[in-house]
Amino acid sequence: MNTEGFLVLLMPVIGLYAICRGGRWHWDPISSNGVAWIQSRFVHRLLLGMFWVGWTTGLVIGVLMLFGV
């Protein structure tokens, strides 16, 4: 087994906690409740894009490392 692959996959698994909170899938896991600096639409979209790019990249790289590709 590839230990590094499991460690890289830990990142998307932790991200699933934010994505699947409340028992359903959330396309917007970054909530803006009460945070003043995230009220900007640009900052919110930027953080959301960074989250999804990082989550997807971590998932793909983790699976590839797990299978030894």
- Specify the range with the lowest mean pLDDT, choosing from 5-19, 28-42, 46-60: 28-42
Contact 9, 66 (CB under 8 A): yes
CA distance 42 to 55: 20
Is the pLDDT at 29 greater than 70? The verdict is yes
Choose between 57 and 2: higher pLDDT.
57
Q: Tell me, what's the pLDDT at 32?
A: 63
Q: Measured between alpha carbons, how far is 29 from 32 in angstroms, rounded to an integer?
A: 10
Sign of CA dihedral 15, 21, 24, 28: negative
* pTM confidence score: 0.77
User: Mean pLDDT across the stretch 50-55?
Assistant: 92
**pLDDT class of 41 with cuts at 50, 70, 90:** confident
